[in-house]
Amino acid sequence: VGLGGQKRSLLPPSRRQRSIPRPPRAARVVLCGFASHRLKMINVVGRPPLDAAGVRLCTFEHVLCDTSSMPCDWLPCHTEELRRDAMVNGTVPITLENLGQIRRDPCCSAENFVLDSCDDAARELESAFGAEGGAVVCDLTTVDEGRDVDGLARVAARLGESVAVCFGASLPAADVARGSEDEMRVALERQLVVGVDVATDVARNFAAGAPAAPRAAFVGPLRPALDEGTIPILYDGHPDIPYIRAAAAAASRQGAPVVVVLPGYEGAQLRKCVRAVIELADAPAWVFRVARLDDQHHTGDLGDLLELAPNVLVVADGWYRPCDQGPRPPSKYLLSHYIAAQDRIVVAAGVRYRTQLRRYGGAGYGAGLIAVRDATDRDINFAAAAPSLAWYRPPKKRPADVVELQCSRCGRSFEVRRGHHYGKFDFVYCGRGCLDAHRDAGFDASEVTGPTASAQGV
């Protein structure tokens, strides 16, 4: 309010011009969830598939990973100053004395890029999402980045009932380089349907009804080399084309989404990359993870991506950290007015290394959720978004095995489901009548005209 009693806008003129009316409360959704209105179940680790109607929150993060040998240009929070060395090659150990230095420059410590503690992961996830009453955390770690399904199972065993974890189907780079498109599709689809084997001691902690081999919930993440300078971006002979097509084919056959990580481009270049991918192959849903959301990546860019297709969803992550030298994240005003009305945008924390965890002084996995809640004055309509997360179509139920037995008393053959028949002692009966008659006779062996149960392998 100005000195004369008139209200004045606190926004700069450029933002005043592009402001839009605040969306009604009923139109808001959980920004850490996304919509795909086809499927009903979600595969999670260590538990039976979740009913999507009971899931209130979803986010995409790295839970367990080792990216100490990966190019740091994939890290969405890093600016050009931190990407010049191209690799994480620092040797500074994580100690209390070095914590401030590592938080300012995460790349000075290769140890910082190893998330391998199941206890830390469970504690951080429970702290961030335990009160949400139904959260799914999708681990964005690929095989080459140290995807650890055994570790995720140990994390799941330490979590409460309100938080679950899942992972994506991915292949190592060596298999992608030498495999055909059909071979890659089969391998990815196997992780969606059959699952990934885990150690015996890990499987003992699974909940009742959980698959012995945890199944992937999505395909990816894919990290195609998309060069904005090439025309077209996915030119004939591009090395990533077979893998993208194989991933889309596997996802289409099983009804799973495909997650793609995009380079740190802006505006039109980002739109070109997304268009090139979705025009290459069809998938039930495309989830694109974009670089750090800030004033250089205007929030309107996300809306442009959503307009490309109704099955496109966006994960925007990377919030202000001590290591960032570039622009600050979008203001609460922009979050509330430009993003809150979009039901296909996930605002994540972008956790990739240890100093982002609360234990090491970071904001933790809940940074994106907290930012959105603060921006919208905590009036997001959670109930309206609860049934919108529906990804995965479970495999068809296999018919029960039918076996043929002979009644021990009358000798008649009959078919039953395995384990479903009348029996007493070493006798098997075709029905309740033979059982009662033999019981009334004191189970006299002279009345037995058919084979015993043990003789039939029962």
Task: Write the DSSP string, 39-107.
Answer: --EE--TTSPPEEGGG--EEEEE-SSEE-TTSBGGG-TT--HHHHTT-B---B----TTTHHHHHH-GG
What is the pLDDT, as a whole number, of residue 168? 94
Percent of all residues in the chain with a pLDDT value above 90, rounded to a whole number:
28
Q: If we measure between CA atoms, which residue out of 144, 149, 124 comes closest to residue 59?
A: 124
pTM listed for this prediction: 0.71
* Selected residue with higher pLDDT from 112 and 186: 186
Burial state string for 153-165 with b = 16 or more CB within 10 A and e = fewer than 16? bbbbbebeebbbb
Contact 79, 320 (CB under 8 A): no
Mean pLDDT of the chain: 75
27 CB neighbour count, 10 Å cutoff: 13
* Fold designation for 19-388: TIM Barrel (3.20.20)
What is the pLDDT, as a whole number, of residue 400? 67
β partners of residue 122: none
* The residue to which tokens 């955390």 are assigned: 137
- pLDDT of residue 63 exceeding 90, the answer is yes
User: pLDDT digits over 164-212, tens only?
Assistant: 999 999 999 999 999 999 999 999 999 999 999 999 999 988 998 899 9
Q: Which residues contact 57 (CB under 8 A, 6 or more apart)?
A: 30, 32, 33, 129, 132, 134, 135, 136, 369, 382
Instruction: Count Cβ atoms within 10 A of the Cβ of residue 337 and give its class: 0-12 exposed, 13-18 middle, 19 or more buried.
Output: buried
The mean pLDDT value for 403-419 works out to 81
What distance in Å separates the CA atoms of residue 181 and residue 374, rounded to the nearest whole number?
A: 46
Phi, psi for 437 (deg, rounded to 5):
-65, -40
* Selected residue with higher pLDDT from 152 and 294: 152
Q: Where in the chain is the domain with CATH 3.20.20.140?
A: 19-388
What is the pLDDT, as a whole number, of residue 167? 96
The mean pLDDT value for 268-295 works out to 83
The mean pLDDT value for 366-381 works out to 57
Q: If we measure between CA atoms, which residue out of 261, 206, 247, 176 comes closest to residue 43?
A: 206
What distance in Å separates the CA atoms of residue 356 and residue 340, rounded to the nearest whole number?
A: 25
Q: What are the angstrom distances between the C-alpha of 217 and each of 168, 190, 191, 292? A: 6, 12, 9, 25
User: pLDDT-based confidence at 72, cuts 50/70/90?
Assistant: low
